[in-house]
Amino acid sequence: MAPQPVALDELLDELRQLRARVPHLTGSLAASADGLVLAEDAGGVEAEGTAALTAAALGVALRLADVTGSGGFRELVLRGETGYVATYAAGPTAVLTVLAEPRANVGRLHLEARRAGVRIAELVHHGAVPATGRPLPEPGRTAGTRSPLPRRRPDSAQGPDAAGGSVPVGGPDPSTAAPAPPPPPGSATAPQARPSARTGVRRGGGAAETTAGSPVDGPRES
Amino acid sequence: MANTEASLKEAMTIDGAIGAALVDYSSGMALGTIGGTKDLDLDVAAAGNTDVVRAKVRTMEHLGLQEEIEDVLITLGSQYHLIRLLTSASDNGLFLYLALDRGRANLAMARHQLKRIENQLEV
């Protein structure tokens, strides 16, 4: 997986094409899932900061999708008073973040940015662009790879001990949840947790678990 | 008064109808779609026709025309595409989009029916 910088040009090219295709798009950047800029055409916006914040927002989005059983991450759209910020999945290790004016055609933005996300995923996935840092959590490893998530895991791992799932689904008592150690990354914690009755209720029987955090799903859409 | 779903269903009863959508042209997103084919993706049509409507609105501004668009007709070789802007105060910024098979449709009747559907529509 030797970095081949030439693909960075292709990546940048993809971002420029996106800008050309969508009117009122003010900037875009491709970033790794942990917040490092891969390529940017951000039009004056501070790319590093935006990429880092994208990663933070992505972390919350992944958890929210997981907890609500919404499956893997596809996109995140923020509408501010003076513009849009949208983040699209681009393979398992990267995202595409797009900035647009408030009058942008969001329908068109979705169509074009989803396609661009697929192509960026191809560029990144073939190892042409250095895969910086950690990938997005893979199925079954969600808890191990992201620091905010283990809090939820002890809660579910505790299930079988806690009198057959009589503990309310919402918010475990911090005093009981705290002593449970976070599972080691990549361990078999997830399969162990699954027999818990509550796990099924909360995550739709592990269906979300297998898809959560696999933005590589993106290509399926087109 | 009819809601979005009922209105779209009624639009599909128009002779020759292939697909219909209710679109918010401030965002380019469809509030509802019905019908469509493999070759007619209504979400793509919603986004694309948003650009059509916006371009016409802008052109009229540039021409100094103080008018409202009532409808837009696009004639293809085998289809008619009708765009009808919603005019009631509460439904501003929306349009109905109707794709018709040119061989089966009666344009005058379709336009008349779409106007009636628009008048009854309450989002």
Residue of A nearest to B50 (CA): A105
How many structural domains are present in chain B?
1
CATH code assigned at B89 = 3.30.450.30
The DSSP bridge pattern shows strands B29-35 and A94-100 to be unpaired
Is residue A187 pLDDT above 60, yes or no? no
Residues A108, B28: C-beta atoms closer than 8 Å: yes
Angle of CA points B75, B79, B83, to nearest 5° = 60
What is the ipTM, given to two decimal places? 0.75
Residues A107, B30: C-beta atoms closer than 8 Å: yes
- CA-to-CA distance for B69 and B47, rounded, in angstroms? 18
pLDDT in tens, A153-171: 444 444 444 444 343 444 4
Q: At B91, is the pLDDT very low, low, confident or very high (cuts 50, 70, 90)?
A: confident
Is residue A204 pLDDT above 80, yes or no? no
- The CB-side HSE value for A138 (13 A sphere, CA atoms) comes to 5
Does B123 reside within a domain? no
Most confident of A116-125, A203-212, B106-115: B106-115
Domain boundaries, chain A: 6-125, 142-203
The per-residue pLDDT for A127 is 64
Residue of B nearest to A83 (CA): B27
* Mean pLDDT score across all residues of chain A: 71
pLDDT in tens, A191-200: 444 444 443 3
In which element (H, E) is residue B19 found?
strand B17-24
pLDDT in tens, A87-145: 999 998 999 999 999 999 999 999 999 999 999 999 988 766 665 555 555 444 444 44
Q: Which domain holds residue B21?
A: 4-104
Q: At B95, is the pLDDT very low, low, confident or very high (cuts 50, 70, 90)?
A: very high
Is residue A85 pLDDT above 70, yes or no? yes
Is residue B33 pLDDT above 70, yes or no? yes
Q: Is B27 part of the contact surface with chain A (CB cutoff 8 Å)?
A: yes
Q: At B89, is the pLDDT very low, low, confident or very high (cuts 50, 70, 90)?
A: confident
Q: Is B123 part of the contact surface with chain A (CB cutoff 8 Å)?
A: no
Query: In this structure, are residues A211 and A172 in contact, taking their beta carbons and an 8 Å threshold?
Result: no
Nearest CA to B42 out of B34, B52, B53 is that of B34
Look at residue B95 and give its three-state secondary structure. strand
Nearest CA to A133 out of A93, A95, A97, A96 is that of A93
Does B56 reside within a domain? yes
Domain A6-125 annotated CATH 3.30.450.30: yes
Selected for mutation to probe chain B from A24, A78, A106, A222 (highest B CB count within 10 Å) is A106
